Amino acid sequence: MKTFILIHGSWHSSWNWHKVIPILEKQGHKAIAIDLPAMGRDKTPINQVRMQSTVEKICKLIDNIEGKVILVGHSKNGIMISQAAESRPDKIEKLVYLAAYLIPNGKTQKEYSMQDTKGVLKPYVTMHEQLNAHTLQQEIYKEGLYADCDDNITELAKLLLSHEPVESAITPLRLSEENYGRVPRFYIECTEDKAVTPFIQRKMYTETPCNRVYSLATSHSPFFSKPQELCNILWEIAMEEKN
């Protein structure tokens, strides 16, 4: 019925969506999760990753799919679905921001992250200047990312989480009303989130209004803790007629 492209957040990769994909497919949709450059199984050297090339990878996938797609972005990589929509507005039916950075034209993800003073992750981020990347210390995984998830998710994360490129966080978005602005936007807020807190989520979707805002009473990773509830919202968004 619909084709979803699922974009993971910082430090993660396509494994984020392993509970979501079979539910969406059972609903009759097609769901594709990708590893962004240098993440997961993508072997791009992390010091070579740039926002432009990351967006190009997403756009290449979109171009190879017949018809329109629904782009779902989690956490930091809301910025990637926004910039992809600027490049492919006629191929993207809807944008879905899942506890994600919804940043206006000319601003950066870091500018909004710095305003999120109640988030618990920042003291546990380790910079690697030579790689132009950072990692997240494992002791904050449970509280910051997976508070309401099964413990096995935290244990998997200890094996799978990786470095996160820095450059995209400080790259201003280039968005226009003519392109990005005509793609319908939907926001799914996570009301118990300690990574991207409800404060900054609400600030972003208030400043950049969406067609509709949904709420999940979860921490930062509802694709692990409440995948069925998340997919029910994605189904509803998919079925919503364009205004």
Total domains, the chain = 1
* Confidence at 1, pLDDT banded by 50, 70, 90: confident
Residue among 210, 206, 196 at smallest CA distance from 112: 196
Range of the domain at 93: 3-239
- pLDDT exceeds 50 at position 243: no
CA distance 97 to 7: 10
- Find the CATH number of the domain harbouring 11: 3.40.50.1820
pLDDT, mean of residues 126-141 = 97
Is the pTM higher than 0.95? yes
pLDDT, mean of residues 175-179 = 98
Residues 26-64: tens digit of each pLDDT: 999 999 999 999 999 999 999 999 999 999 999 999 999
Q: Which contacts (CB < 8 Å, 24+ apart) does range 135-144 have?
A: 135/11, 135/161, 135/162, 135/163, 135/164, 136/10, 136/11, 136/161, 136/164, 143/194, 144/119, 144/120, 144/194, 144/195, 144/220
pLDDT, mean of residues 108-120 = 97
Helix axes 51-63 and 78-87, enclosed angle (nearest 10): 60
CA distance 213 to 188: 6
